[in-house]
Amino acid sequence: MAFPEERETGTESAPRRSRKERAASDPEKAPQSSRVGWSPYDEGPRSRAPLWFALSGVAVLALLGGGIAWMWNAKGPAVVETAAPRQTSAPLPSVPPGKYGFAADRSTDPDAITVKEIFGKQKKLTVSGRGYEMTITSKDKKCTDGALGDKLQKALKAGKCNQLVRASFRDKAGKVIGTVGVANLTTSKTASKVAKIGDAKNYVKPLTGKDSVTKFLGSGSGGAKIWTYGHYAIMVWFQNKDGTKPDKKGSKRLFQAIDDITQATVFKALDNRSLTGSPLT
């Protein structure tokens, strides 16, 4: 299934491409079978916790610039002597080359991420009239505590993951629920290795909430994928509240929720880091 506003994993794609272009350039994954999940290509009965879609995407980096033109009076400027200008603040550091800027490597982006930075201070958010609520957050002491699958856990260790923050969300109607996780790796290369591991056995551990809706996270049918943004790996698990496999309309609603939530939280914070090398405050 195509995911609108997709971001491709890896480091070779162009920034800020249209939805159509990104969907067209994202090769479909080969169907995978496991005892954990099932794919739309399987003909057999469903398992208890199937994964039914694969999302992919590209982290986006846009550098905006502008200029100011000074117009002189036709009669010519008056001659005024002034003191030499004083520098009132330290100049901003130059953004490293590449589409991820400072965020390409932990060495140029050393500050630790926080739950509030990545997911925002407000529990409720609205995107184009669509409402969502963050119900629970977690900052795992060990990255492996927030990941499922031996291969994914090994990749996180190999990439020297030192942080994994997670948050769970529900839509306003209480029909869509999901977990988003962000892992802090050493380099873009190690983050890409983590993303390639993602499959029906290796994905973010759904973070169960205490409310009446997100308490069902991780049960029934769900979809998972891992993206990259510089030295970060962004992992998602989303599903219907009742755990049923969504129809075409339901799939569109889930894809929209993932896009709305990650654009308004995770990618907003990481875009800032890529441009400034500092946490979003």
3-state secondary structure of 232: strand
Tokens at 178, concatenated: 């999901």
Tokens at 15, concatenated: 């920034």
Residues 6+ apart with CB under 8 A from 215: 208, 209
The alpha-helical segments, DSSP class H, found in the chain are 19-25, 115-119, 150-158, 188-197, 248-264, 266-276
What is residue 281's predicted lDDT score, i.e. its pLDDT? 81
**Whether the Cβ atoms of residue 268 and residue 281 lie closer than 8 Å to each other:** no
Which parts of the chain sit beneath pLDDT 50?
Answer: 1-49, 53-85
The single-letter code of the amino acid at 266 is V
3-state secondary structure of 166: strand
What is residue 36's predicted lDDT score, i.e. its pLDDT? 38
Q: Phi, psi at residue 192, to the nearest 5°?
A: -65, -35
What is residue 51's predicted lDDT score, i.e. its pLDDT? 58
Pairing of strands 176-184, 232-240: antiparallel
Residues 7, 57: Cα–Cα separation, whole Å: 2
Q: Where are the domains of the chain?
A: 7-59+95-276
- Residue 237's H or E segment, with its range, is strand 232-240
- C-alpha dist (Å) from residue 172 to 132, 178, 211: 5, 13, 13
What is residue 71's predicted lDDT score, i.e. its pLDDT? 29
**Tens of pLDDT, residues 144-196:** 999 999 999 999 999 999 999 999 999 999 999 999 999 999 999 999 999 99
**Tens of pLDDT, residues 257-272:** 999 999 999 999 999 9
- Side-chain-side CA neighbours of residue 267 (13 Å): 22
- C-alpha dist (Å) from residue 142 to 22, 25, 147, 165: 33, 34, 10, 10
As beta bridge partners, residue 98 has none
